[in-house]
Amino acid sequence: MSISFIETKDPKDFPEYKELFSLIENFMGYLPHAFLLMADNPNLLNAFSGLSNEIFSSDEIDNQTKQLIALASSLSSGCKYCQSHTSHGAERAGVSVDKILSILDYQNSDHFSKKEKCVLDLAFASGKVPNEAKKEHFDKLKKHFTLSQITIIVSVISLFGFLNRWNDTFGTQIENVPGDFVNNELIPKGWVK
């Protein structure tokens, strides 16, 4: 099975991960090919799954905001694979398509609160290479968030920094569910290709 620049296996080739893959599929609505690429290295898959679960199960920051952070980071880095995942994930978490479509102009959009704009400032700055995060980003964040919440915000950015590099480097093929969401919901309404 080829889902990237290298050959990989099918989910059925990893019976030891049947339960984990089922949990991921229930959360996301599909099994990301990125997990199949990691499955040949059990320590990596387990560590990544544990980190992802810790970040996304935290109630410090709501899942809509986490998905918007992930989307902004992925847009900033240019990872199309992660952009499709995070836009679909944002919609699945309850973010309106109109809000997703306006994220590239979030500073001028009425869809985003002042609090969200501070978060997106950091997410977009941090997704760039070299990283453009500055003390001013954190000064603004501290007006709205606790240190524990800021840690989760940076954790989401960092998790997607890994995923952006992982998937762009491997050339991971976008799955049908997020690909169809982008093609059917976002591109016809003005999403940048």
Name the residue ranges covered by the structural domains of the chain: 61-189
The band of 56, judged by pLDDT with boundaries at 50, 70 and 90, is very high
Report helix, strand or coil for 2: strand
So what's the pLDDT on residue 192? Answer: 60
pLDDT band at 66 (very low <50, low <70, confident <90, very high): very high
Whether the per-residue pLDDT at 5 is higher than 60: the answer is yes
Which residues fall within 8 angstroms of residue 160, CB to CB, at 6 or more apart? 69, 70, 73, 74, 77, 82, 86, 127
- As a whole-number percent, the residues of the chain with pLDDT over 90 amount to 88
The predicted pLDDT at position 188 comes to 78
- Examine the pLDDT at 2 and tell me if it is beyond 60: no
Instruction: Check pLDDT > 70 for residue 1.
Output: no
- For the chain, the average pLDDT equals 94
CB 137 within 8 A of CB 121: yes
pLDDT tens, position by position, 79-100: 999 999 999 999 999 999 999 9
CA–centroid distance for 146 within its chain: 22
Which pTM value belongs to this model?
0.93
CATH 1.20.1290.10, applies to 61-189: yes
Asked whether residue 57 carries a pLDDT value surpassing 90, the answer given is yes
For 106-110, the CB contacts below 8 A with 24+ separation are 106/72
80 Cβ partners below 8 Å, 6+ apart?
Answer: 174
Residues 6+ apart with CB under 8 A from 57: none
Instruction: Identify the sign of the CA torsion 184, 117, 111, 57.
Output: positive
Question: Which of 44, 53, 79, 99 lies closest to 178 in space, CA to CA?
Answer: 79
Query: Is pLDDT of 191 > 90?
Result: no
